[in-house]
Protein backbone atom coordinates (compact mmCIF):
# COMPACT_ATOMS: atom_id res chain seq x y z
CA UNK A 1 0.00 0.00 0.00
CA UNK A 2 2.64 2.50 1.07
CA UNK A 3 5.73 2.26 -1.19
CA UNK A 4 8.12 2.86 1.74
CA UNK A 5 6.20 0.60 4.10
CA UNK A 6 6.37 3.17 6.90
CA UNK A 7 2.63 3.76 7.01
CA UNK A 8 3.07 7.38 8.13
CA UNK A 9 0.13 9.54 7.09
CA UNK A 10 0.67 13.18 6.24
CA UNK A 11 -1.43 14.15 9.24
CA UNK A 12 0.90 12.18 11.56
CA UNK A 13 3.89 13.77 9.88
CA UNK A 14 2.58 17.31 10.29
CA UNK A 15 1.71 16.59 13.93
CA UNK A 16 5.18 15.13 14.61
CA UNK A 17 6.71 18.35 13.29
CA UNK A 18 4.39 20.32 15.55
CA UNK A 19 5.42 18.32 18.65
CA UNK A 20 9.10 18.81 17.76
CA UNK A 21 8.71 22.56 17.56
CA UNK A 22 8.78 24.32 20.94
CA UNK A 23 5.90 26.72 21.41
CA UNK A 24 3.88 25.41 18.45
CA UNK A 25 0.19 26.03 19.02
CA UNK A 26 -1.30 23.72 16.42
CA UNK A 27 -2.43 26.64 14.24
CA UNK A 28 0.07 25.80 11.54
CA UNK A 29 -0.87 22.12 11.71
CA UNK A 30 -4.51 23.02 11.23
CA UNK A 31 -3.63 25.23 8.26
CA UNK A 32 -1.59 22.52 6.54
CA UNK A 33 -4.36 20.01 7.14
CA UNK A 34 -6.80 22.27 5.30
CA UNK A 35 -4.39 22.29 2.33
CA UNK A 36 -4.27 18.50 2.47
CA UNK A 37 -8.07 18.36 2.43
CA UNK A 38 -8.23 20.81 -0.48
CA UNK A 39 -5.67 18.65 -2.35
CA UNK A 40 -7.86 15.56 -1.94
CA UNK A 41 -10.94 17.38 -3.22
CA UNK A 42 -9.13 18.99 -6.19
CA UNK A 43 -7.67 15.57 -6.98
CA UNK A 44 -11.10 14.02 -7.00
CA UNK A 45 -12.38 16.72 -9.38
CA UNK A 46 -9.38 16.49 -11.73
CA UNK A 47 -9.65 12.71 -12.02
CA UNK A 48 -13.32 12.85 -12.96
CA UNK A 49 -12.87 15.94 -15.11
CA UNK A 50 -13.40 13.98 -18.30
CA UNK A 51 -16.68 12.56 -17.04
CA UNK A 52 -18.49 15.71 -16.08
CA UNK A 53 -18.97 19.04 -17.75
CA UNK A 54 -16.12 20.73 -15.95
CA UNK A 55 -13.46 20.64 -18.65
CA UNK A 56 -12.98 23.50 -21.01
CA UNK A 57 -12.57 27.22 -20.88
CA UNK A 58 -15.01 29.62 -19.25
CA UNK A 59 -14.06 32.16 -21.90
CA UNK A 60 -12.97 34.66 -19.23
CA UNK A 61 -9.36 35.80 -18.91
CA UNK A 62 -7.43 36.05 -15.62
CA UNK A 63 -5.23 38.95 -14.47
CA UNK A 64 -2.35 37.56 -16.50
CA UNK A 65 -4.47 37.75 -19.68
CA UNK A 66 -4.66 33.95 -19.91
CA UNK A 67 -7.79 31.93 -20.56
CA UNK A 68 -9.22 30.62 -17.29
CA UNK A 69 -10.30 27.00 -17.22
CA UNK A 70 -13.23 25.90 -15.10
CA UNK A 71 -11.06 23.67 -12.95
CA UNK A 72 -8.86 26.66 -12.13
CA UNK A 73 -11.88 28.46 -10.77
CA UNK A 74 -12.99 25.45 -8.80
CA UNK A 75 -9.54 24.95 -7.26
CA UNK A 76 -9.20 28.65 -6.49
CA UNK A 77 -12.57 28.85 -4.73
CA UNK A 78 -11.92 25.69 -2.76
CA UNK A 79 -8.50 26.83 -1.54
CA UNK A 80 -9.96 30.17 -0.44
CA UNK A 81 -12.86 28.52 1.43
CA UNK A 82 -10.80 25.86 3.17
CA UNK A 83 -7.91 28.10 4.12
CA UNK A 84 -10.12 30.80 5.61
CA UNK A 85 -12.14 28.11 7.36
CA UNK A 86 -9.00 27.11 9.29
CA UNK A 87 -9.22 30.40 11.22
CA UNK A 88 -5.45 30.78 11.05
CA UNK A 89 -5.06 32.80 7.85
CA UNK A 90 -4.53 36.55 7.97
CA UNK A 91 -5.00 36.98 4.22
CA UNK A 92 -4.68 35.06 0.96
CA UNK A 93 -3.51 35.75 -2.57
CA UNK A 94 -3.95 33.57 -5.64
CA UNK A 95 -2.72 33.53 -9.21
CA UNK A 96 -6.37 33.78 -10.21
CA UNK A 97 -7.06 37.09 -8.44
CA UNK A 98 -5.49 40.47 -9.19
CA UNK A 99 -5.56 41.56 -5.54
CA UNK A 100 -5.20 39.92 -2.16
CA UNK A 101 -8.45 38.20 -1.16
CA UNK A 102 -10.30 39.60 1.84
CA UNK A 103 -11.54 37.14 4.44
CA UNK A 104 -15.30 36.59 4.39
CA UNK A 105 -17.15 38.71 6.92
CA UNK A 106 -17.06 37.45 10.52
CA UNK A 107 -14.22 35.05 9.73
CA UNK A 108 -11.75 34.39 12.53
CA UNK A 109 -8.34 35.38 11.18
CA UNK A 110 -4.86 34.26 12.19
CA UNK A 111 -1.23 35.11 11.57
CA UNK A 112 -0.42 33.31 8.32
CA UNK A 113 -0.28 34.63 4.78
CA UNK A 114 -0.83 32.00 2.10
CA UNK A 115 -0.17 32.59 -1.59
CA UNK A 116 -0.99 29.90 -4.10
CA UNK A 117 -1.39 28.88 -7.71
CA UNK A 118 -4.53 26.74 -7.44
CA UNK A 119 -4.04 24.85 -10.69
CA UNK A 120 -0.67 25.30 -12.32
CA UNK A 121 -0.15 24.05 -15.86
CA UNK A 122 -3.84 24.39 -16.57
CA UNK A 123 -3.31 24.59 -20.34
CA UNK A 124 -2.53 20.86 -20.05
CA UNK A 125 -5.86 19.86 -18.49
CA UNK A 126 -7.69 18.94 -21.67
CA UNK A 127 -4.83 16.65 -22.76
CA UNK A 128 -4.84 14.74 -19.44
CA UNK A 129 -1.28 15.85 -18.70
CA UNK A 130 -0.11 16.31 -15.09
CA UNK A 131 -1.07 19.55 -13.36
CA UNK A 132 -0.56 20.81 -9.82
CA UNK A 133 -1.28 23.17 -6.95
CA UNK A 134 1.56 25.27 -5.49
CA UNK A 135 1.51 27.04 -2.11
CA UNK A 136 3.74 29.39 -0.13
CA UNK A 137 3.19 30.21 3.56
CA UNK A 138 4.58 33.26 5.36
CA UNK A 139 3.97 34.88 8.72
CA UNK A 140 2.16 38.20 8.68
CA UNK A 141 4.54 41.12 9.38
CA UNK A 142 2.15 44.09 9.62
CA UNK A 143 0.70 44.86 13.03
CA UNK A 144 -2.33 47.04 12.27
CA UNK A 145 -5.94 45.86 12.15
CA UNK A 146 -5.66 45.02 8.42
CA UNK A 147 -2.98 43.29 6.37
CA UNK A 148 -0.88 45.43 4.04
CA UNK A 149 1.02 44.64 0.82
CA UNK A 150 4.17 44.28 2.98
CA UNK A 151 2.70 41.02 4.26
CA UNK A 152 2.73 39.61 0.73
CA UNK A 153 5.89 41.25 -0.63
CA UNK A 154 8.33 39.32 1.54
CA UNK A 155 11.42 37.63 0.07
CA UNK A 156 11.21 33.86 -0.33
CA UNK A 157 13.70 33.05 2.43
CA UNK A 158 11.03 34.23 4.89
CA UNK A 159 8.69 31.39 3.91
CA UNK A 160 7.78 29.14 6.85
CA UNK A 161 6.52 26.38 4.58
CA UNK A 162 5.96 25.66 0.93
CA UNK A 163 4.80 22.77 -1.15
CA UNK A 164 2.94 21.44 -4.13
CA UNK A 165 0.41 18.81 -5.04
CA UNK A 166 1.01 16.92 -8.28
CA UNK A 167 -2.05 15.42 -9.96
CA UNK A 168 -0.24 12.88 -12.12
CA UNK A 169 -0.08 9.14 -12.66
CA UNK A 170 -0.46 9.14 -8.90
CA UNK A 171 -1.26 12.14 -6.73
CA UNK A 172 1.55 13.40 -4.53
CA UNK A 173 1.90 16.13 -1.96
CA UNK A 174 5.46 17.38 -1.42
CA UNK A 175 6.17 19.93 1.29
CA UNK A 176 8.79 21.43 3.54
CA UNK A 177 8.65 23.42 6.75
CA UNK A 178 12.38 24.11 6.62
CA UNK A 179 13.52 20.67 7.78
CA UNK A 180 14.09 18.94 4.47
CA UNK A 181 11.52 17.85 1.91
CA UNK A 182 8.98 15.07 2.36
CA UNK A 183 6.79 13.51 -0.31
CA UNK A 184 3.46 11.72 0.24
CA UNK A 185 1.49 9.63 -2.22
CA UNK A 186 -2.30 9.53 -2.09
CA UNK A 187 -3.59 6.01 -1.58
CA UNK A 188 -6.98 6.31 -3.30
CA UNK A 189 -8.30 3.17 -1.60
CA UNK A 190 -8.09 4.78 1.85
CA UNK A 191 -8.06 8.46 0.84
CA UNK A 192 -4.84 9.18 2.75
CA UNK A 193 -1.52 10.70 1.74
CA UNK A 194 1.18 8.26 2.95
CA UNK A 195 4.87 9.04 3.34
CA UNK A 196 6.47 7.56 0.22
CA UNK A 197 9.48 9.85 -0.31
CA UNK A 198 11.10 10.75 3.01
CA UNK A 199 13.91 13.31 2.92
CA UNK A 200 13.96 14.03 -0.83
CA UNK A 201 17.45 15.03 -1.95
CA UNK A 202 18.14 16.40 -5.41
CA UNK A 203 21.21 14.72 -6.98
CA UNK A 204 24.23 17.03 -7.10
CA UNK A 205 24.30 16.67 -10.90
CA UNK A 206 21.78 15.32 -13.36
CA UNK A 207 21.59 14.70 -17.07
CA UNK A 208 18.25 16.22 -17.97
CA UNK A 209 17.54 19.74 -19.20
CA UNK A 210 13.99 21.08 -19.04
CA UNK A 211 13.11 24.27 -20.94
CA UNK A 212 10.70 25.33 -23.67
CA UNK A 213 13.14 25.16 -26.59
CA UNK A 214 10.51 26.74 -28.83
CA UNK A 215 11.69 30.08 -27.43
CA UNK A 216 15.28 29.55 -28.62
CA UNK A 217 15.26 32.65 -30.84
CA UNK A 218 14.24 34.83 -27.90
CA UNK A 219 17.12 33.83 -25.64
CA UNK A 220 20.48 35.54 -25.33
CA UNK A 221 23.73 34.13 -26.69
CA UNK A 222 25.20 33.15 -23.32
CA UNK A 223 22.19 30.99 -22.56
CA UNK A 224 22.31 29.46 -26.05
CA UNK A 225 26.00 28.61 -25.48
CA UNK A 226 25.02 26.74 -22.31
CA UNK A 227 22.28 24.78 -24.06
CA UNK A 228 24.62 23.93 -26.96
CA UNK A 229 27.16 22.70 -24.41
CA UNK A 230 24.53 20.42 -22.82
CA UNK A 231 23.67 18.78 -26.11
CA UNK A 232 27.32 18.06 -27.01
CA UNK A 233 28.91 14.85 -25.75
CA UNK A 234 32.36 15.36 -24.25
CA UNK A 235 34.78 13.17 -22.27
CA UNK A 236 33.51 14.72 -19.04
CA UNK A 237 29.76 14.85 -19.59
CA UNK A 238 26.97 12.99 -21.37
CA UNK A 239 24.50 14.48 -23.82
CA UNK A 240 21.68 15.88 -21.67
CA UNK A 241 18.19 14.56 -22.38
CA UNK A 242 15.42 17.09 -23.00
CA UNK A 243 12.27 16.68 -20.89
CA UNK A 244 9.70 19.47 -20.85
CA UNK A 245 6.14 18.82 -19.75
CA UNK A 246 5.01 22.45 -19.62
CA UNK A 247 3.57 21.96 -16.12
CA UNK A 248 6.00 23.47 -13.66
CA UNK A 249 4.93 21.17 -10.85
CA UNK A 250 5.63 18.07 -12.93
CA UNK A 251 8.89 19.43 -14.34
CA UNK A 252 10.16 20.45 -10.88
CA UNK A 253 9.01 17.16 -9.34
CA UNK A 254 11.06 15.21 -11.88
CA UNK A 255 14.01 17.56 -11.30
CA UNK A 256 13.81 16.98 -7.52
CA UNK A 257 13.84 13.21 -7.97
CA UNK A 258 16.18 12.72 -10.95
CA UNK A 259 18.27 15.91 -10.88
CA UNK A 260 19.21 18.09 -13.83
CA UNK A 261 18.15 21.62 -14.60
CA UNK A 262 14.85 23.43 -15.21
CA UNK A 263 14.97 26.82 -16.92
CA UNK A 264 12.32 29.42 -17.69
CA UNK A 265 14.56 32.33 -18.70
CA UNK A 266 13.62 35.87 -19.63
CA UNK A 267 12.63 36.64 -23.18
CA UNK A 268 15.06 39.08 -24.75
CA UNK A 269 12.78 40.06 -27.64
CA UNK A 270 9.31 40.51 -26.20
CA UNK A 271 9.12 43.82 -24.30
CA UNK A 272 5.91 42.57 -22.68
CA UNK A 273 7.70 39.57 -21.17
CA UNK A 274 11.08 40.93 -20.02
CA UNK A 275 11.06 38.62 -17.01
CA UNK A 276 9.97 35.34 -18.51
CA UNK A 277 6.66 33.92 -17.40
CA UNK A 278 6.81 32.34 -13.98
CA UNK A 279 5.52 34.27 -11.00
CA UNK A 280 7.84 34.94 -8.08
CA UNK A 281 5.54 34.79 -5.09
CA UNK A 282 3.47 31.67 -5.70
CA UNK A 283 5.51 29.72 -8.26
CA UNK A 284 9.26 30.45 -8.05
CA UNK A 285 9.59 31.14 -4.32
CA UNK A 286 7.84 27.98 -3.13
CA UNK A 287 9.60 25.84 -5.74
CA UNK A 288 12.93 27.55 -4.99
CA UNK A 289 12.42 26.85 -1.27
CA UNK A 290 11.78 23.15 -1.92
CA UNK A 291 14.73 22.82 -4.31
CA UNK A 292 17.06 24.47 -1.76
CA UNK A 293 15.67 22.36 1.08
CA UNK A 294 16.47 19.30 -1.06
CA UNK A 295 20.08 20.47 -1.52
CA UNK A 296 19.73 22.10 -4.97
CA UNK A 297 19.88 25.70 -6.14
CA UNK A 298 17.31 28.17 -7.52
CA UNK A 299 18.56 31.33 -9.20
CA UNK A 300 17.34 34.10 -11.47
CA UNK A 301 20.69 34.21 -13.32
CA UNK A 302 21.55 37.23 -11.21
CA UNK A 303 21.17 35.81 -7.73
CA UNK A 304 19.27 33.52 -5.43
CA UNK A 305 15.52 33.47 -6.14
CA UNK A 306 14.71 33.46 -2.41
CA UNK A 307 16.53 36.78 -1.98
CA UNK A 308 14.62 38.72 -4.65
CA UNK A 309 12.86 41.67 -2.98
CA UNK A 310 9.31 41.48 -4.35
CA UNK A 311 7.72 44.65 -5.68
CA UNK A 312 4.37 43.37 -6.97
CA UNK A 313 1.99 40.53 -6.23
CA UNK A 314 2.12 39.00 -9.70
CA UNK A 315 5.78 39.80 -10.41
CA UNK A 316 7.61 37.47 -12.81
CA UNK A 317 11.25 36.40 -12.63
CA UNK A 318 13.56 34.24 -14.72
CA UNK A 319 13.87 30.86 -12.99
CA UNK A 320 16.78 28.42 -13.13
CA UNK A 321 16.62 25.56 -10.66
CA UNK A 322 17.83 22.06 -10.04
CA UNK A 323 21.00 20.14 -9.23
CA UNK A 324 23.62 22.28 -7.52
CA UNK A 325 26.42 21.60 -10.04
CA UNK A 326 24.12 22.06 -13.03
CA UNK A 327 22.79 25.40 -11.80
CA UNK A 328 26.30 26.63 -10.95
CA UNK A 329 27.43 25.67 -14.45
CA UNK A 330 24.42 27.41 -16.04
CA UNK A 331 25.15 30.61 -14.10
CA UNK A 332 28.79 30.52 -15.26
CA UNK A 333 27.57 30.45 -18.87
CA UNK A 334 24.75 32.97 -18.39
CA UNK A 335 27.09 35.46 -16.72
CA UNK A 336 29.58 35.07 -19.59
CA UNK A 337 32.34 33.49 -17.46
CA UNK A 338 32.18 30.38 -19.64
CA UNK A 339 31.24 29.93 -23.28
CA UNK A 340 32.05 26.24 -23.85
Angle (CA) 80-43-169 rounded to 5° is 145
Which residue in the set 42, 101, 120, 172 belongs to the binding site for Mg ion (CB under 5 A)? 120
Please count the other Cβ atoms lying within 10 Å of the Cβ belonging to residue 242.
13
- The residues, any chain, with a CB within 8 Å of residue 303's CB and separated by 6 or more, are none
- Judged by beta carbon, residue 125 or residue 320, the one nearer Mg ion is 125
**Could you tell me how far CA 129 lies from the centroid of its own chain?**
17
136 has binding-site annotation: no
196 has binding-site annotation: no
Q: Is there binding between residue 295 and ligand AHM (CB under 6 A)?
A: no
53 has binding-site annotation: no
Q: How far is the CB of 74 from Mg ion (least distance, A)?
A: 13
- Judged by beta carbon, residue 125 or residue 202, the one nearer ligand AHM is 125
- Judged by beta carbon, residue 206 or residue 276, the one nearer Mg ion is 276
Secondary structure (H, E, C), 166-200: EECCCEEEEEECCCCCEEEEEECCCCEEEEEECCC
CB 290 within 8 A of CB 163: yes
Alpha-carbon distance of 265 to 268, in angstroms, equals 9
Exposed / middle / buried, residue 158 (Cβ in 10 Å: 0-12, 13-18, 19+): middle
Q: How far is the CB of 277 from Mg ion (least distance, A)?
A: 11
121 has binding-site annotation: yes
Exposed / middle / buried, residue 91 (Cβ in 10 Å: 0-12, 13-18, 19+): buried
Give the number of residues in contact with ligand AHM, rule: CB under 6 A.
13
192 has binding-site annotation: no
Q: Looking only at residues 107 through 136 of this chain, which bind ligand AHM when binding is defined by CB under 6 A?
A: 117, 120-122
95 has binding-site annotation: yes
Which residue stretches of 104-189 are H helix? 149-152
Q: Is there binding between residue 251 and Mg ion (CB under 5 A)?
A: no
Q: Looking only at residues 207 through 236 of this chain, which bind ligand AHM when binding is defined by CB under 6 A?
A: 212
Q: How far is the CB of 72 from ligand AHM (least distance, A)?
A: 8
Q: Which residues of this chain interact with Mg ion, rule CB under 5 A? A: 95, 117, 120, 122
Contact residues toward ligand AHM (CB under 6 A) are 66, 95, 117, 120-122, 212, 246-248, 251, 264, 277
Annotated binding residues for substrate, as ranges? Answer: 120-123, 212, 244, 277
Amino acid sequence: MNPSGTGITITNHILEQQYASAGATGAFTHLLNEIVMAAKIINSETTKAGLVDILGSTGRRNVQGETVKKLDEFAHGLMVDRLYRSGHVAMLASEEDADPIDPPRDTKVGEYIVMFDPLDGSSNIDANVSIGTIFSILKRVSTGPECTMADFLQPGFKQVAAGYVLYGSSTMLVYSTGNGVSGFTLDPSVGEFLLSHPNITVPQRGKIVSANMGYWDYWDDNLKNYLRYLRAKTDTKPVYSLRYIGSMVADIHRTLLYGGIFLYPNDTKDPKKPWGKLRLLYECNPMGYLIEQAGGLADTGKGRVLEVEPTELHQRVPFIAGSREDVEEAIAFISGQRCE
